[in-house]
Structure 1
């Protein structure tokens, strides 16, 4: 009973989490300078403003830098221009997300790879859960992103403050469908530690068995 209660509490907490939030219409209406150029993907204006001495890491009211805005808008060229202009690619906004985790949640593999190429560390701790971009992607079953992050050196066995790894999240917060099955396969093939359990010592395999996720069970055995 205690194990069920703790797990239910953790799942409920994860589901109601303060998630990353893209700029609202009112945010966008207030933008000027680099924030506006990043939102619009205007590389020429980004380069002009940086050359004129604009603060490349200026923050909006939610502590988003222009790089965050380019990430939310999926403007790869704008992000590259900002990074080339000295933007901090590991900056965190007010909900502790970086560009890499924004791209991971958006299921944007190309932006994930670009962010890492531009210096966004795949092992950075992000979100209110002290997680990583890999955990966020595994949670959502974004297997192409998971593969890119694994290739980029993301830590496979990081444990967040819910006591979950990427592998556990793919099982516990997944739906047992093809996307989460592929995610589990990628993590296991990469060497994720299948023996790490949650705060009650329940392993990913045990979670998969209890949910009737037969294909995951075969991968995790």
Structure 2
């Protein structure tokens, strides 16, 4: 019962309830029916203060649920820089893959989370990681992005971080070819300026 209180408190962002549950003996790695830990629930809902309490109690930033999500990986989906910074001291595995075979950088690129991409690139995460779809963060920013200012800035950040601008998808289509096909003129110009073919 006390484990359920911990999980519920984490999900709703109740720092006091989380501290009380831990103090009463709740397991910091207790899991719900989807195998989500309290830290994963807190990370998914961006409850940063709860996450800090759990990390101080030794919570694992790499504990995977039934969908292969981890507290660290969901930060790429939410785009929370505050949560990224809260989790980094816990030493997350930057190579851990989500259910699509991607690292946290990739969904952030797709979703247009500019500040998250800026911060996560500082960690030394693999800028050219290829997921199970055959896509890198750069390819996702182009293929699934809208070509607008946020995705343009992400393309700039990836280029500055040394992304391989000619790394094609599994069909041999390059980021530049995708940008041209989608009518993303500004993105195409950025890629050409970086030497893309």
- Aligned counterparts of 2:188 and 2:23: Cα–Cα separation in 1: 56
Q: Please, what TM-score do these two structures have when normalized by structure 2?
A: 0.90
- Render the CA deviation track for 1:187-221: whole Å, top value 9, x for unaligned: 01110111210011111111112222111111111
- Render the CA deviation track for 1:41-78: whole Å, top value 9, x for unaligned: 33333233324332111110111100011112211111
The match for 2:143 is 172
The match for 1:202 is 173
Q: Give ranges in structure 2 of 5+ residues lacking alignment.
A: 193-197
Q: Give ranges in structure 1 of 5+ residues lacking alignment.
A: 1-30
The match for 2:101 is 130
- Aligned counterparts of 1:101 and 1:144: Cα–Cα separation in 2: 16
Contact 1:116 1:122 in 2 (8 A): no
Do structure 1's residue 161 and structure 2's residue 132 form an aligned pair? yes
- Aligned counterparts of 2:182 and 2:14: Cα–Cα separation in 1: 48
Contact 2:81 2:119 in 1 (8 A): yes
The match for 1:85 is 57
Alpha-carbon shift at residue 122 of structure 1 (Å):
2.6
The match for 2:160 is 189
Contact 1:139 1:166 in 2 (8 A): yes
Kindly report the root-mean-square deviation, in angstroms, between the aligned alpha carbons of the 2 structures: 1.6
Contact 1:109 1:145 in 2 (8 A): yes
Contact 1:197 1:204 in 2 (8 A): yes
Superposed, 1:11-50 pairs within 5 Å as 32-50=4-22
Number of aligned residue pairs: 190
Alpha-carbon shift at residue 117 of structure 1 (Å):
2.7
- Aligned counterparts of 2:29 and 2:86: Cα–Cα separation in 1: 18
Do structure 1's residue 117 and structure 2's residue 89 form an aligned pair? yes
- Aligned counterparts of 1:123 and 1:149: Cα–Cα separation in 2: 12
Deviates more, 1:56-65 or 1:109-118: 109-118
- Render the CA deviation track for 1:157-212: whole Å, top value 9, x for unaligned: 11111111000110011111111111111101110111210011111111112222
Q: Please, what TM-score do these two structures have when normalized by structure 1?
A: 0.80
